[in-house]
Each structure stands twice: as structure tokens, then as C-alpha cells.
């Protein structure tokens, strides 16, 4: 799911990536809104907010919003820096942004109760989550070949509208390809919304501990490939041994 890139990557890898990482982003977005009153995946909205703060002369708040935009950008840059290694072993590069995001989520879950709505605390908590979402979005975009983006839906709804038109106007030989695109868009939208619902509900019930859940999902995503490969190797080894035993008995 994470280790396959380029020609080795297929449609199923992107589907799995969309399911886990879009769910995570949706959870963080909803929980971040309830916890710190900030949408941690919505850069477009923050750009409008920055313009509004500058227009009204609220330069202190404008500085904070501008910092959030820079942190999202910095997260994307840091993730690309980690994954930009062209060496043979790229997996450690993909692990670094995920580990950093896990640490940020654990810190938000552990120290979030100290949040007192002050500008400084808002900068720390909301800014760290925006940095994490910038890392995740860049990581997923790079791995999937810019097919999957997990932290916003504006582009997904736009692409879905285009794909729906293309489907009804496409020739028979292209219908299967367009259907796959539509299914992937719907999976991204559905699991982002599902993550948001779960994140909102969990925060109402358990408050800041909710941030531990997306951290666990990220751990699963990071080790999924390793466990899956080992499992298939074990099954294959057992099958070979069983075949040898049968041959000996016969």
C-alpha cells in the first residue's frame, strides 16, 4: 500500500491507501475543529480567513492564520524531502512523515486538555495538526502518483463531476477505466466523511483521547505491507512443506 510506487503500484493499492488515510484525515479534521475550533485540513478556508483578518485590521489573528498556512506548506515540503530520496530503499523515507504525524497526534491527545483558547495555545495545537496534515497530503499524493489526496474534498468533487460526465459520454472500451476513477473518488469522499463523523462522535464522548485513534490507524497503514508480505511468505512456506510431506508419503 505504501511501499509500491511507479509502475509497481496498482488500483487496489490506491483504494487501500484512500480508505485508511482519508478516514484518518477526516477524524483529525473533525476532532481538531471540536478541540481547537480550527479546521486543520482546510487551507482554502484559512486563505479566506487571512484575507478577512487583514481587511479588518486584525493583524495579530492574521499572523496566526498566516503561520498555519506556512506550517501546512512546511509539512508538505518536509514530507517531500523525506520521500525524495532516489535510492533503492525508499521505505524509511515514507516512514518518517508517518512517524512524525503519529507523534503530533499523540501529543495533541496527551496535552490537549491544557488548551485554554489563548492565541498561543491555538497556534501550537492547530499549527501542529496543520503541519501533520500537510505531511500526510504530500505523502499520499506522492505515493499514489497524485491520484489520491486525503485532506480536502474540493478537488475530489470537481474530479467526480468531470468523471461522471466522461462516463456517460465515453466509448465502451473506456467505461471500465472511468468507473474505476469514479469508485476511487467515492471511496475518498465516503471515508473522509466517515472519519469526520467518527472523529466528532468520539471527541464528544472521550475528548482529546480521540487523537490516539488516527495515530493507531497510521501505525496499521505503516506496517500493513510488512505484515502482509510476511503472511504470504509464511502461507507459501507452509504450502511448500505440506506438498513435500505429501510427496514423501506417496
pLDDT band with cut points at 50, 70 and 90 for residue 111: very high
Higher-confidence position of 235 and 152 = 152
Phi, psi (degrees; rounded to nearest 5) at 153: -115, -5
Tell me the per-residue pLDDT of 67-107, one tens digit each, with 9 for 90 and over.
999 999 999 999 999 887 655 454 567 889 999 999 999 99
Which of these ranges, 36-40, 55-59, 234-238, has the smallest mean pLDDT? 234-238
Measure the CA angle with vertex 66, ends 64 and 70; round to 5°: 115
The whole-angstrom separation of Cα 140 and Cα 217 is 15
pLDDT of 229 over the 80 cut: no
Residue 244: predicted pLDDT: 63
Residue 146: predicted pLDDT: 84
The whole-number average pLDDT for the span 126-135 is: 96
Could you tell me the end-to-end alpha-carbon distance of the chain, in angstroms, rounded to an integer? 41
Residue 222: predicted pLDDT: 84
Grid cell 518518517 — which residue?
96
The whole-angstrom separation of Cα 25 and Cα 193 is 9
Q: Which long-range contacts (CB under 8 A, 24 or more apart) does 41-49 make?
A: 41/130, 41/133, 41/137, 41/151, 41/152, 42/152, 43/69, 43/72, 43/152, 44/152, 44/154
The CATH class given to the 6-249 domain equals: mainly alpha
Higher-confidence position of 21 and 227 = 21
Single pTM value for the model: 0.87
Q: Domain residue spans in the chain?
A: 6-249
Which of these ranges, 24-38, 143-157, 180-194, has the smallest mean pLDDT? 143-157
The whole-angstrom separation of Cα 163 and Cα 200 is 31
Amino acid at each position: 500500500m505504501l511501499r509500491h510506487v511507479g509502475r509497481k503500484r496498482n488500483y487496489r493499492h490506491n483504494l487501500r491507501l484512500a480508505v485508511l488515510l482519508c478516514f484518518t484525515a477526516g477524524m483529525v479534521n473533525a476532532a481538531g475543529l471540536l478541540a481547537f475550533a480550527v479546521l486543520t485540513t482546510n487551507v482554502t478556508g484559512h486563505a479566506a480567513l487571512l484575507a478577512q483578518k487583514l481587511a479588518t485590521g486584525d493583524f495579530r489573528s492574521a499572523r496566526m492564520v498566516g503561520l498555519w498556512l506556512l506550517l501546512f506548506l512546511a509539512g508538505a515540503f518536509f514530507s517531500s524531502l523525506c520521500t525524495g530520496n532516489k535510492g533503492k530503499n525508499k521505505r524509511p523515507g515514507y516512514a518518517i512523515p508517518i512517524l512524525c504525524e503519529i507523534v503530533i497526534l499523540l501529543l495533541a491527545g496527551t496535552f490537549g486538555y491544557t488548551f485554554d483558547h489563548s492565541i498561543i495555545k491555538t497556534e501550537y495545537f492547530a499549527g501542529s495538526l496543520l503541519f501533520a496534515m500537510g505531511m500526510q497530503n504530500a505523502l499520499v499524493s506522492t505515493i499514489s502518483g497524485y491520484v489520491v489526496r486525503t485532506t480536502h474534498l474540493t478537488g475530489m468533487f470537481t474530479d467526480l463531476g468531470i468523471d461522471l460526465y466522461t462516463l456517460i459520454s465515453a466509448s465502451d472500451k473506456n467505461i471500465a477505466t472511468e468507473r474505476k476513477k469514479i469508485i476511487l473518488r467515492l471511496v475518498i469522499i465516503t471515508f473522509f466523511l466517515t472519519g469526520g463523523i467518527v472523529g466528532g462522535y468520539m471527541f464528544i464522548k472521550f475528548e482529546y483521547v480521540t487523537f490516539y485513534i488516527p495515530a493507531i490507524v497510521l501505525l496499521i497503514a505503516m506496517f500493513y505491507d510488512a505484515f502482509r508480505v510476511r503472511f504470504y511468505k509464511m502461507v507459501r512456506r507452509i504450502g511448500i512443506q505440506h506438498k513435500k510431506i505429501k510427496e514423501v508419503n506417496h
